[in-house]
Amino acid sequence: MAPEQRRQHLIEVAATLFAERPFDQVAVDDITDAAGVSRALFYRYFAGPREIFTATTQQIVDGLILEFSDVPHDLTLLEQMHRSLSAFLDFAESFSANYVALLRNTSVQASTGTDTIIEQLRAASVAEILRRVQVTSPTRIFLLTLENWVRMVEYTTLAWLCGNGLQREGLEDWLIGQLIAMAGASAAQDPQTAEIITAALAPQTAE
């Protein structure tokens, strides 16, 4: 196996293990045994569990961001948002134990590297929405609306994964409703937000 292929194989194996249990329950020996390689080979590519966890998280988030960009543009804006939310919730659910710990920022896996990755995901989510509504120079109010909504999605997802009385069914609709409500409040003070929310709701109004 070429070096890059070997590194990728280790990341894929680690991703499977991290999906099954928290970071602090995955040892180097678990990864090497599952990958069928020696500890010495593992340490050629990674300094330890924290580094491969960061690399795994980065790759998963990169894939999620790519999924966001691949959502068809011929759907209505609200349908596009539903698709993106579904992809995000699938990601969070498949990586649940570690996702919860990362957002709480209290576990041993939280680090500067993973904090940066979470910030990348937030920024990419906002940027993708701006791209889809064709806004290159958002007003401060509109930008704050999107940033606050993205944070709300994160922590609502956290509550859902922690079993705080939320169910996956209907969660996407509720989150979309929250975005519409937040944008509606912002629209009262910001013409740009008003124009965007009117356009987003127009197809449903027409029906």
**Inside any domain, residue 188:** yes
**Inside any domain, residue 137:** yes
Q: Contact at 8 Å (CB) between 184 and 174?
A: no
Q: Given a cut of 70, is residue 173 above it in pLDDT? A: yes
The single residue listed with the structure tokens 């996702």 is 99
Q: Given a cut of 60, is residue 62 above it in pLDDT? A: yes
**Inside any domain, residue 53:** no
Q: How far apart are CA 63 and CA 57, in angstroms?
A: 10
Model pLDDT, residue 207: 42
**Inside any domain, residue 23:** no
**Inside any domain, residue 138:** yes
Kindly report the CATH number assigned to the domain that includes residue 197.
1.10.357.10
Chain-wide mean pLDDT for the chain?
A: 88
pLDDT digits (tens, 9 = 90+) for 108-163: 455 667 788 889 999 999 999 999 999 999 999 999 999 999 999 998 998 898 88
Domain hosting residue 92, numbered range: 60-206
**Inside any domain, residue 72:** yes
Q: Given a cut of 70, is residue 188 above it in pLDDT? A: yes
Model pLDDT, residue 202: 76
**Inside any domain, residue 91:** yes
Model pLDDT, residue 13: 94
Q: How far is CA 30 from CA 10, 24, 55, in A?
A: 11, 12, 17
pTM comes to 0.83
**Inside any domain, residue 86:** yes
Contacts of 123-132 spanning 24+ positions with Cβ under 8 A: 124/65, 124/68, 125/68, 125/84, 125/88, 125/150, 125/153, 126/150, 128/65, 128/68, 128/69, 128/84, 129/81, 132/73, 132/77, 132/80
Q: Which is nearest to 71 in space by CA: 84, 60, 88, 61?
A: 84
Q: Which is nearest to 169 in space by CA: 160, 159, 177, 178?
A: 160
2-24: burial string, b at 16+ Cβ within 10 Å, e else: eeeebbeebbebbbebbeeeebe
Model pLDDT, residue 166: 84
The structural domain count of the chain equals: 1
Task: Grade residue 46 by pLDDT with cuts at 50, 70 and 90.
Answer: very high
The single residue listed with the structure tokens 């928290």 is 22
In the chain, what percentage of residues exceed pLDDT 90?
54
Q: Which is nearest to 78 in space by CA: 173, 181, 200?
A: 200
